[in-house]
Chains A and B, each alone.
Chain A
Amino acid sequence: MGVTKEQVEASLTSKMNPSHLEIIDTSGGCGASFAIEIVSEQFEGKKLLERHRMINSALAEEMQHIHALSIKKALTPTQWKQQQESISTPPSSQ
C-alpha cells in the first residue's frame, strides 16, 4: 500500500505550482520513503517551518502511507537562482 513517485509529483505540482521539483524515491520501491527538492513562488516570505507545513498539507493524503519524507530543499525561485549560480561559479574566479 505504497505511494508512487508520480502521485507525490502530481499532488505537489497541482497544489504548489513549483518551478522546479525533484522527487527521489528512497524507499527502494515500496513507495514509503521520498526525498524532495521543491522551488515555488508560494514560499516567498515564509519561514522554513511554514514551507514544510505547506508541503506536508499538500501531501496530507499521501503522508498517511509514507514512512519518511525528507525535504531537502524548499526554496523560492530567487533563492534557487542564487544557489544555482553559486554552484556553477568556481569560488576561485571571484
Chain B
Amino acid sequence: MAAISFSTIQSSSSVRVLSSHPLEITPHKPLFLHRSHSTSFPSISSNPKNKSRRLFALVVVSSLKKLADAELVPVPGEADELASKFPSDSGVYAVYDKNNDLQFIGISRSIAASVLSHRKSVPDLCYSVKVGVVDEPNRTSLTQAWKSWLEEYIGATGKVPPGNQSGNTTWVRQPQQKKKPDLRLTPGRHVQLTVPLEELIDRLVKENKVVAFIKGSRSAPLCGFSQRVVGILESEGVDFESVDVLDEEYNYGLRETLKRYSNWPTFPQVFVNGELIGGCDILSSMQEKGELATVFKK
C-alpha cells in the first residue's frame, strides 16, 4: 500500500498539512488534512518569499479551476444519483452547508466516494459541493490544488473553513491507532489439525460478521484487488476480520480449501454473516451503487 507522508511538505512550507501518522492514500478514502494551528495561517497568503513556490503551484495545477469559478453542485439524497453527479476522479473539493457557507476543503482519490461518506456522516453540513478534478494526480499536485483553494478562500474571507481548523474532527476519520491483526486459521502447518480446515473456515465466517480473505496482510495487501477491498471496507467504516491466504505457515492449504468451500475461484473473498458477498469487482460495483451500507448493517 502506498504510504504517503506529508512530512516534506510540513517542513518546507508555512502551510501545515498535518497528521500524526503517515497518510495512506487508498482509493475512496478522504485524506486526513488538518492545519495544526490556526494562528499560523496569515503567513500563507502574504509571504513574499513564497513567490517562487507559488509559481510552481500555478504550473502544477494550471488546469484546476479556481474555487470561485467552480460550479456549486447540490448533493442528492440518493447514493446512486450521487455517483452520477460527482466524478470518481482524484481532486480537491469544497463542501457547503445549506446557507452556502463553506465548511470544509478536502482532497480525495475518489471525490464521489468522499462526498458520499461526508453526506452520510454529516448530512446537515454537506448540502452542496464544488469540485476541482486534478489531472495527473499525485501527492504534490493534489496538495497544491488543496492549498490553492484554501489560500483563495482565506484570501477572500480571512477565515479558515471551520472543518479545516485545528481540532475539528467532523470531516476526517481519525487514523486508526493500530490495525487489527490478521486472523490465523491454524496453530502452524506442522500441527496436526483435529478439525478439518473446511470446518474451521465455516466457523470463522459464521462467528464473525465480516471476514475478508485477502492476499497479504490488511496493513500491507500484496495484490491490487485485495488492497482495493481493504480500502473499500475501511472507507465504509466496517469492522472486519482479515485472513491472509498467502500465509503458508498459519493458513496452510487455505487457498484450495476456501475455493472449494465458497465455490469461488479467486481472491479476495468477502463474507458477511457466513455468506459470500463477492470479490473486488462485486464490492466495487456495490459501493458505486451505494448498496454496501445495507449489506453491512444486516
Interface set of A (CB-CB < 8 Å, partner B):
48-49, 52-53, 56, 60, 63, 68-72, 86, 91
Contacts and interface: CB of A to CB of B under 8 A. Distances in A.
A49 B281 contact: no
A78 to B, nearest CB: 16
Given A48-B282, A49-B277, A68 B225 contact: yes
Given A48-B285, A68-B225, A53 B264 contact: yes
Across the A-B interface, give the 9 residue pairs with the lowest CB-CB distance, nearest first: A71-B281, A63-B265, A49-B278, A48-B282, A56-B265, A70-B281, A49-B282, A52-B282, A52-B278
Nearest to A59: B265
A56 B264 contact: yes
A63 B263 CA distance: 13
Nearest to B285: A48
B278 A48 contact: yes
Contacts of B285: 48
Contacts of A56: 264-265
A72 to B, nearest CB: 7
B261 to A, nearest CB: 14
Nearest to A48: B282
- Chain A interface, DSSP helix/strand/loop, else mixed: helix
Given A49-B276, A86-B84, A69 B266 contact: yes
B60 interface: no
Interface in B256-278: 263-266, 276-278
Given A52-B278, A52-B282, 15 more contacts: A48-B278, A48-B285, A48-B286, A49-B282, A52-B279, A52-B281, A56-B265, A68-B266, A69-B266, A70-B280, A70-B281, A71-B281, A72-B281, A86-B84, A91-B85
A85 B286 CA distance: 21
Nearest to A36: B281
Given A48-B286, A68-B225, A86-B84, A53 B263 contact: yes
Chain B interface residue number, banded = 10 to 19
Contacts of B225: 68
B265 A91 contact: no
A91 B73 CA distance: 13
14 contacts: A48-B278, A48-B285, A49-B276, A49-B278, A52-B281, A52-B282, A53-B264, A56-B265, A60-B265, A63-B265, A68-B266, A70-B280, A70-B281, A72-B281
Interface in B79-100: 84-85
A52 B282 CA distance: 8
A48 B282 CA distance: 7
A53 B259 CA distance: 12
Nearest to B278: A49
A71 B281 CA distance: 6
Contacts of B265: 56, 60, 63
Interface in B221-280: 225, 263-266, 276-280
B82 to A, nearest CB: 13
Contacts of B286: 48
Interface string B127-153: 000000000000000000000000000
